[in-house]
Each structure stands twice: as structure tokens, then as C-alpha cells.
A and B are shown apart, each in its own frame.
Chain A
């Protein structure tokens, strides 16, 4: 039950209180901390990406192992720097084409497999005898109706003024329940973060809580 003597804890506590000061009103301390956050997070992301993506995938194979095949992605990557001049900016289309083309190609079968086929397979309804209990069958039936009506709502509803049939209305009901549940879950996640910060202030920093 003692106040922390670590300088880092004091810095973290000051930053926490500075961000909380926004609850009163927007102020210069909050804005300074916000700018600090922008700088630190940008620097952190770049160091981590360079360390875990650039070094093992370009630097080491090309400049340490001398694998000349990696000259191709290195040159493609260098073309991004053409953006620095307006006259040469169009050259950035080439590395973008490589990323977009390979990304779209790899994603095409994978997304269809995971987002469409696997979801449709998981939704398929079987005879009641296939399920361990009547409750499991009813749940599967609800999921089946829910997926079908939500899809129906997405693909066959036309604007706000259209007369909504029972299928579309059921779809909207499922969406509303889902959004409500997601909202509730997000609120609780944010609250748990708030509890974490308060615990840090009163426990780790001030030593009042154990």
C-alpha cells in the first residue's frame, strides 16, 4: 500500500489523467498527449514493420544471402519513392499493380471458400434426427431462417419506402438483434478498459487498491 516510485508509472499515470481531462473539455494538455500518441504509434508501427517484414523478406535474402531473385521485389518497392516527385508519381502504379493483382488472385478462392462456402455449409439444415436434441434442431432452424432472411434483405430490398414483406422484416429483426448484441459487447469491452485504467491509477500508481 505505497505510492509507486517508478518514473515510468508516474509518466503513464500523468498520460492517463491527461487523456481523461478531455472528459471536462478539449484542452492543450490533451492535444499535446494526442500528438505524442500519433508520433509514438507511427514510430512504433514503422519499426515493427521494418523489423518483421522488410528485414526478413527483402533485406536478409538480398543483402545477406545474396539471392538476386529478391532484386525484383526490392526494385518494385523502390518505385514507391517515385511518389516524391509529381513527374514520376505514375510509376507507383507498378508496385501497386503487383500488390493488388497478387492480393486479388490469392483472395479470390480463399474468400469464396471461407466467407461463402464454409458459411453456407455451416448453415445447412438437416433432418431433426441428425441433431443431439430438439433444442439443437430449433437453434439450427433459427440460424437457417436468420441467414436466409438477412441475405434476402440485403439483395432484394429496395429503399426505405418499399413495402416490406415478412421475410425482409424478419431479416431486419435479426440484424437489429445482432447489432444490439455487438453494441452491448463493445460497451462492456470499453468498460473493462476503463476499469483497467482506474485499477492502474488507484492500484499500481497510488497503491490504494490491491
Chain B
């Protein structure tokens, strides 16, 4: 019974839902559209319940850390209190003016954008160390980066680098992005087929 529930039934479900999901795209019938909408709603609902499980895992992880007093007690306590506070405030409303919104706007947003802005310093120092035009390819990377950086500044615009930037972004950059997209598309299609047909079973734990 355990084997049936842990392997046979899941593989059968993947086959059935996978084949039906792929077929419905090619069937322009009301039944097919209803099926698509229903399964999509169910999928969103089921995955949202996985998030509740994630919240429980978060609570358990930090609670264990606080109880074990490994040294991260202070940080885990802060994380846990902030987490519970957000859940509590969220229960009373998420509209503009609510405590939940104020916490988001004045705690989450400033920390988030400041952390990302810190990357500007690290990217600058990393590129100073890494950007050496030792080979032709490295020189291309360096030149493209410098043109795009200068092209998005007023100084760059005054010497027409903004137009060169536009050209780089919309022609060679588009070409390589399309190449990657096609590669990713073929890979994703092959992986989807392998999952549906039960060839790829890593998601079952090997």
C-alpha cells in the first residue's frame, strides 16, 4: 500500500494530469476550457496550502534554534517575532494605512532596496578585479558593459552612447537572449515530456 501511495499513484497522476493538460491546449471546446480553469484554480489553491506548511516549518526551525541556544537565539527570536507580528497584523487587514502595510512600506521596502543597492558597491569592486581584457571575448564583455553603463547616463547621451546602448540591447543582446530562450524552451519541453512519461522520477526522491 505504501509503495502504491508513494510511487504508483503519483506517477499515474502525473501521467493523467500531464496528458490532459497538454491535450486541452489543442481542443477548442467548452469542456476543455472549463477543465483548464478548474485545474488552474485547484493548482493555485493546493500550492497555497504548501505555503502554510512552509510557515509551520519556519516556526519549527526558529523555535528549535531558540530552544537549543546555539548562539543564534537573538536573531531567531527577532525573525520569529517579526514573522508572527506580520501574520497578526495581516489578520486585521492589509489595506493602505494598516499596520501590516506600514511594516511592509517602512521595514520591508527600505531593507530590501538598501540590500540590493549594496550590490552596486560589490559589483563595482568585483568588476574592477575581474574585468581584465585578456582575451577577445573578455574584451567584448568589458566593452559592452562600459557602453551600456555610460549609455544610460547623461554624459553617455551627449556623445550618442545612448543610441549605441539601444542598438546593443535590441540587436546582439536580443540575438543571444533568443538563442538561450530557444535552448531553454527545448530543454523545458523535453523535461516536461520526461516527467509526464515517468522517465524523470527525481521529484519522487530518486
Question: Could you list which residues of chain A lie within 8 angstroms of chain B, going by C-beta atoms?
Answer: 8-9, 11-13, 15-16, 19-20, 22-23, 31-51, 53-54, 57-58, 61, 69-70, 72-74, 76-78, 80-81, 83-84, 90-91, 93-112, 114-116, 119-120, 122-123, 139, 142-147, 149-151, 153-155, 171-188, 190-191, 193-194, 196-197, 200
User: How far is it, in angstroms, between the C-alpha of A82 and the C-alpha of B148 when the chains are bound?
Assistant: 51
Enumerate 15 A-B pairs (CB-CB under 8 Å) in ascending A order: A37-B108, A43-B86, A46-B55, A53-B51, A73-B45, A94-B5, A97-B10, A98-B17, A98-B46, A102-B18, A119-B182, A150-B179, A151-B182, A173-B136, A181-B168
Name the residue of chain B whose CB is nearest to the CB of A188.
B152
User: How far is it, in angstroms, between the C-alpha of A54 and the C-alpha of B50 when the chains are bound?
Assistant: 10
Interchain CB contact (< 8 A) of B20 among A11, A105, A114, A151: A105
Bitwise interface map of B from 147 to 191 toward A, beta carbon under 8 Å scored 1, else 0:
111011000000000000100110111111111111111101101
Question: Is the Cβ of A74 less than 8 Å from the Cβ of B140?
Answer: no
Bitwise interface map of B from 81 to 92 toward A, beta carbon under 8 Å scored 1, else 0:
111111100110
User: How far is it, in angstroms, between the C-alpha of A118 and the C-alpha of B102 when the chains are bound?
Assistant: 43
Question: Is the Cβ of B178 less than 8 Å from the Cβ of A101?
Answer: no
Chain B interface: which size bin?
Answer: 35 or more
Q: Give chain B's interface secondary structure class.
A: helix
For B6, what are the chain A residues with a Cβ–Cβ distance below 8 Å? 90-91, 93
Question: Could you list which residues of chain B lie within 8 angstroms of chain A, going by C-beta atoms?
Answer: 2, 5-7, 9-11, 13-22, 24-26, 36, 38-56, 58, 74-76, 78-87, 90-91, 94, 100, 102-121, 123-124, 127, 136-138, 140-149, 151-152, 165, 168-169, 171-186, 188-189, 191-193, 195-196, 203-204
For B16, what are the chain A residues with a Cβ–Cβ distance below 8 Å? 101
User: How far is it, in angstroms, between the C-alpha of A186 and the C-alpha of B122 when the chains are bound?
Assistant: 12
Interchain CB contact (< 8 A) of A115 among B36, B100, B188: B188
For A100, what are the chain B residues with a Cβ–Cβ distance below 8 Å? 14, 195, 203
Interchain CB contact (< 8 A) of B43 among A42, A103, A151, A177: A103
Name the residue of chain A whose CB is nearest to the CB of B90.
A47
For B11, what are the chain A residues with a Cβ–Cβ distance below 8 Å? 97
Interchain CB contact (< 8 A) of B5 among A13, A46, A90: A90
User: How far is it, in angstroms, between the C-alpha of A180 and the C-alpha of B133 when the chains are bound?
Assistant: 12
Question: Is the Cβ of A39 less than 8 Å from the Cβ of B79?
Answer: yes
Question: Is the Cβ of A43 less than 8 Å from the Cβ of B14?
Answer: no
Interchain CB contact (< 8 A) of A94 among B13, B82, B105: B13
Q: How far is the CB of A44 from chain B (nearest CB, A)?
A: 6
Interchain CB contact (< 8 A) of B45 among A54, A105, A109: A54
Name the residue of chain B whose CB is nearest to the CB of A184.
B148
For B193, what are the chain A residues with a Cβ–Cβ distance below 8 Å? 108
User: How far is it, in angstroms, between the C-alpha of A150 and the C-alpha of B55 when the chains are bound?
Assistant: 42
Q: How far is the CB of B127 from chain A (nearest CB, A)?
A: 7
Name the residue of chain B whose CB is nearest to the CB of A103.
B43
Question: Is the Cβ of B5 less than 8 Å from the Cβ of A91?
Answer: yes
Name the residue of chain B whose CB is nearest to the CB of A102.
B17
Q: How far is the CB of B180 from chain A (nearest CB, A)?
A: 7
Question: Is the Cβ of B118 less than 8 Å from the Cβ of A20?
Answer: yes
Question: Is the Cβ of B26 less than 8 Å from the Cβ of A109?
Answer: yes
Name the residue of chain A whose CB is nearest to the CB of B78.
A35
Q: How far is the CB of A139 from chain B (nearest CB, A)?
A: 5
Interchain CB contact (< 8 A) of A101 among B17, B148, B174, B186: B17
For B58, what are the chain A residues with a Cβ–Cβ distance below 8 Å? 42
Question: Is the Cβ of B176 less than 8 Å from the Cβ of A177?
Answer: yes
Using A20-B114, A39-B82, A176-B140 as known contacts, say yes or no to A187 and B149 having CB atoms under 8 A apart: yes
Interchain CB contact (< 8 A) of A57 among B24, B41, B109, B148: B41
For A99, what are the chain B residues with a Cβ–Cβ distance below 8 Å? 43, 46-47
Question: Is the Cβ of B113 less than 8 Å from the Cβ of A197?
Answer: yes
